[in-house]
Amino acid sequence: MTLTPVVGVLALQGDVREHSIALAEADALARPVRRPEELAEVDALVIPGGESTTMAKLAAAFDLLVPLRERVAGGMPVYGSCAGMIMLADRLLDGRPDQQTIGGLDVTVRRNAFGRQVDSFEAELDFAELDGGPVRAVFIRAPWVESVGESVEVLATVASGPAEGRAVAVRQGNLLATSFHPELTGDHRVHRMFVEMVRARLGQPAAR
Ligand SMILES: NC(=O)CC[C@H](N)C(=O)O
């Protein structure tokens, strides 16, 4: 019997509801995670967008930072969107001097990278391994991935404009991160990709 993967959504701030809906559409059971006991009960975790400096402070205040690092080190699948990508990064540019991350993803991420003129925008992205055409990506004061370690795969880059070629979706082992917000468009393919990573981790066959 294949059990439905239980995927937590870090519920300190951000689009918790939208991610939960997208996960349910991708055949996972979504649960909000605010406390270490709740983190201990999930198979995987989504970290929504928001404000990474605030999220890091809240994670520390809720005694989640150390357990989060331990679960990541233990191989728990985590998907970080926007501020969630920042939280997973090993190295930050334009972070606050005292800004903490969970880390685990061998990348350097630049916060608020797109600058004022294109503060928030949408773009079509070719996304590796996703069938069904380009992904419509919503960027909101988004970071980009400035550089990656050798075990990191770049899944999507910006196709044109001043940020052409910048990496905005990456994967390393059980960690997935996007600069943009797939929970806002009703296209659940990125969440589905993540749930398949969770199934693989749990030793379950692919859903379809
Ligand atoms: N939409 C977002 O998550 C924005 C991220 C935010 N600019 C930060 O630095 O955390």
pLDDT digit string, tens, across residues 93-149: 999 999 999 999 999 999 999 987 678 899 999 999 999 999 999 999 999 999 999
Residue-level pLDDT at 1: 56
Using the atom order of ligand 1, give the atom closest to the CA of residue 48.
3
**146 found inside a domain:** yes
Residue 177 has pLDDT above 60, yes or no: yes
Using the atom order of ligand 1, give the atom closest to the CA of residue 53.
10
Q: How many domains does the chain have?
A: 1
CB atoms within 10 A of CB 133: 11
Strands 167-172, 135-140: pairing is unpaired
List strand residue ranges (DSSP E) for the chain, in order.
Answer: 6-10, 29-33, 44-47, 78-81, 89-93, 105-110, 120-125, 135-140, 144-148, 153-157, 167-172, 175-178
Atom 6 of ligand 1 has which residue's CA nearest to it? 51
> pLDDT-based confidence at 206, cuts 50/70/90?
confident
Residue 172 has pLDDT above 60, yes or no: yes
Q: Which residues line ligand 1 (CB under 6 A)?
A: 49-52, 82-83, 86, 111-112, 140-141
Share of the chain above pLDDT 70, in %: 98
CATH of the domain at 27: 3.40.50.880
How much distance in Å is there from the Cα of 3 to the middle of ligand 1? 34
| Token code pair at residue 28 | 């996972």
Domain that holds residue 128: 6-201
pLDDT digit string, tens, across residues 71-104: 999 999 999 999 999 999 999 999 999 999 999 9
- Specify the pTM: 0.96
**207 found inside a domain:** no
Strands 78-81, 175-178: pairing is parallel
**1 found inside a domain:** no
Residue of 53, 102, 110, 141 with the most ligand 1 atoms within 8 Å of its CB, for mutation? 141
Indicate the average pLDDT of the chain: 95
**40 found inside a domain:** yes
Q: Average pLDDT, stretch 151-170?
A: 95
Residue-level pLDDT at 133: 96
Share of the chain above pLDDT 90, in %: 91
How much distance in Å is there from the Cα of 81 to the middle of ligand 1? 9
Task: Choose between 97 and 208: higher pLDDT.
Answer: 97
